């Protein structure tokens, strides 16, 4: 089965630098097949017969051993990734195609109450929509203006680990 691993907090602002060739080799050393990386933000596509929960544990342990620090990893199957793209929730928002869109990959499904709390802060310029263990984020203007990035509001409100990728990356990684 094809899986996608999203590493949280690597190659961001010059911190926790991992070269993609080295990351690919680490995944191959863990026994994964057909390993590919995509851009420099810790995105890995690979093949494995194992289940996602077992993969997460194996990858996090393998990376900690190789890197000597812990890295949170979020796993999605190919079917899950295709559903994320298909379930895009902002088509009825005027001008959505001119906005900055991010997908937040959550490590677990948040509680209904925390989702309501997060979605209650939606404005005309910034919106959140949670579907299962994924978050869609729309912002008009620059990402640097977003409360999502300034205050780490998603993890604090939803009480989950989240790593985000822009909409282009989410779509393009499916094609590699």
Position 12 scores a pLDDT of 59
The correct answer on CATH 2.60.120 for the domain covering 87-173 is no
| Domain topology for 2-79 | Alpha-Beta Plaits (3.30.70)
The overall average pLDDT reported for the chain is: 92
Say how far apart CA 88 and CA 11 lie, in whole Å.
27
Q: Please give the backbone phi and psi of residue 36, each rounded to the nearest 5 degrees, phi first.
A: -135, 150
Residue 17 has pLDDT above 90, yes or no: no
Least confident of 13-22, 35-44, 108-117, 165-174: 13-22
The segment(s) of the chain belonging to CATH 3.30.70.1280 are 2-79
* Contact criterion met (CB below 8 Å) for 5 and 47: no
């Amino acid at each position: 089965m094809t899986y996608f691993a999203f590493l949280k907090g690597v190659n961001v602002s010059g911190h926790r630098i991992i070269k993609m060739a080295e990351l690919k080799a680490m995944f191959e050393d863990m026994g994964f097949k057909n390993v590919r990386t995509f851009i420099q933000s810790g995105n890995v596509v690979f093949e494995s017969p194992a289940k996602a929960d077992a993969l997460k544990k194996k990858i996090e342990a393998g990376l900690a051993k190789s890197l000597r620090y812990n890295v949170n990893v979020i796993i999605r199957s190919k079917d899950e990734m295709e559903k994320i793209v298909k379930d895009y929730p902002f088509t009825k928002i005027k001008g959505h195609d001119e906005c900055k869109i991010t997908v937040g990959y959550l490590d677990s499904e948040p509680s209904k109450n925390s989702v309501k709390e997060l979605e209650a802060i939606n404005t005309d310029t910034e919106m959140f929509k949670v579907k299962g263990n994924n978050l869609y984020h729309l912002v008009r203007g620059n990402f640097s203006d977003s409360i999502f990035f300034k205050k780490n509001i998603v993890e604090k409100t939803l009480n989950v680990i989240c790593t985000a990728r822009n909409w282009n990356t989410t779509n393009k990684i499916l094609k590699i």
